[in-house]
Every structure is written in C-alpha cells, then in structure tokens.
Structure 1
Amino acid sequence: MTHTVLRIDASARRDGSESRALTQRIVDRLEPQSIIQRDLAVAIPTIDADWLAANWTKEEERSDKQRATLALSDSLIEEIKAADTLVIGTPIYNFGIPANLKAWIDQIARAGITFRYTEAGPEGVMTGKRAIIAIASGGTQVGSDVDFASGYLRHVLGFIGITNVQVVAADQLMIDADASHAKANAALEDLAA
C-alpha cells in the first residue's frame, strides 16, 4: 500500500478524458492512505522574468513580492515532497505533453531545491519516490520515434531524482481502441500496489 499519492491530471478535458480515467484506475489500484490532487486544467502560470529573478535571488534576500511570486512553485514542490508516489496522467498533444504540464515542470525544477549542481553535474534530490505516468494518445505510439512525451517525462523526473518510473499507456486509441485498452489493462495488472 502506498501511503500518499500525488495525482496530477494534465488533460484539458475533465469529462471523457482517457488519461484521467486511466489515472483514476491507477490510484484505485494503489489504495493510498491519502491523495493530493493537482488538476492542471486549472492553468499553472508559466515562468517569466519576475519568476526567474525571484528564483535566482538568495532566499534570505528575497523581497515580499519575490516570495509571493514563488509561492505557487513552493507549494507544488511541497506536494511532491509529501508524496511517496506521483501518478501523472497526461494526453499526448501533437507528439508531446500539454503546455500546462510543461508549466508545472518549469515551476518544480528548481536548482538547490529539487536538484543541485555538483562537480559531477546536476543531481536530483527528490529521491526515494516512485512515479507512474498514465499516457493516452489518439495516434502516437508510446515509445516510438515521434513520442516526445514519455521520454521527456522520464528524463525530467530522473533529473529531480525520481528514477523509479513506470508508464501505463492507452496509446493509438484512434487506430485500435480495443487493443489499446487491453494493453493498458495488462500494464495495470503488472503494477505493484
């Protein structure tokens, strides 16, 4: 049993979303004691010059405005810290992840907080966690040369220290929905709670 799951839904659709349905099934299988939910259909602001300036100002030197600018980022990172397992549900839009999921990544990938620079290069500090990525696509085959979503998410999660990453895909739904659902069901059965 997983203690705490951070559930992230990136689909713009709330009703009829394949990735949301798949994410729910994964969360049900994990039977967590608690769930933190982050619905990215409610837009996450993209980083801008003010955000960058606040982020690169030493914490003790930040103005109140800079602290306010980073408040959402700080909250998103606390959600990750509180979770044992991240379950990220995302569609593939135009061969990649939705912009709202990219905005979330930009908010949580912070030097000195979720990763640090060492003599050997960047090192993730959010270790000891598990991530399960639930991906739905109409035509893009997960793992193919034109899938720029699953590899990117694995890389970003590894960059912040989460290297135990599994993918459950309902891909190519517009080509063969039955086969896609069967493959996703088999992957779900293989997930350890």
Structure 2
Amino acid sequence: MKIKTKLHTDAVKEALLSLSDMEFYNTIHHWLDRISQKSWEAELLDEMQFALGYELESGETLQSYRNWDELMYAEPDCEDVYLIAPSPLKLRRYIDKMDSHSFYHNIIYLAGKAYGDGEMGYPPNAFCDGYEFLENLVASLRKNQPSQEKNHHSETFRIINQTQYNEGFFQVSEHWRTYSGGKVTDFVLLTSN
C-alpha cells in the first residue's frame, strides 16, 4: 500500500471510529442500505454483511448461521430466515481491530460501493487512486461527529431484517430497537399480504 493511500485510509478509519456508537452504527448501515438499492449488488451485499459479523437466524429453530450455505445445509426447508446485525459495540470492536490494508479493502470498499455514483468523487479502483473520494468521506464523517456539549436525543437502529419465503397473512417486516435515556425498547412492525 502506498504511503499516501495508507494515510488517507487511516484518516477515514479515525473519522469513522470517532463517531458516537449510534452514529457509527447508522453510518455503516446507511452504506449497506444504499448498496441494497442496487439490485445487481445483492450477492455482494450478502458477502459484505457476513464479513461484518451479520448472521442468519432460522425462525423455526432460532439457530444462527454464518452464511447461506451453512443454513441450507442444516435446514434446507427453512422458510423464515432473519438477518441479524451485530451490536454496535461488536461492530466497532471488529472494525477497530482491522489493520490499514483490511480496512481499505473492506470498509473503504463498502463506502465506495455505497457512493459509487461519483457524488463524493470516484472511489479507489484499478484506474483511480480515489484520494478525492477518501478526503470527501473523511469530511462527511467528521461533520457527523458529536460535539462535547451536544445532548443526545433518542436514537434508533435496526437489529433484524426478515427475509421472507412464505406467504403468511401477517408477516414481520421490520424489527428495530430504540435507545433513549439509558433504556432500550424493541419494536416489531407487522404488515399484511
């Protein structure tokens, strides 16, 4: 890795990790959401989520699996599958332990896929060093850093997305968790077919 690339990579990592837990968590999930809107990126999105510690959970046995192959091998007829995100602390620890090379090839790659349309400059690739993108990414992350005096209001983050194969009348379409004043509350959104 070039020295300039390493310096830019380390600056992005420092800016990302300096966010509050919720802002950090929501930033990563915002990038994943942007990628999920591109239908041709579905397999890549799965790989990225599993690399970040997401797990699949069987709605029938409540058993967790690290990828689709494990799930299909153990429960080939399973129809209720949930994608479980790691906790903000677990995700932070995982990313904090990454060396510059791993961070560049995983997290910056993730951000590059999320903003691949050039709105922040062009991300690093075989034809471009991506320094403008990395500088804009650092600036974007730093503007979201909490100030010392800021009062933190209620924050929300998703913990479960359901992957549905069945045709039930009511289905769980989204689970989320709120955190306010030191108290965690879980919610479930039901939709009907």
Q: What TM-score comes out, normalization by structure 1 length?
A: 0.26
Higher helix proportion, which one? 2
Q: What TM-score comes out, normalization by structure 2 length?
A: 0.26
- The structure that has the greater radius of gyration is 2
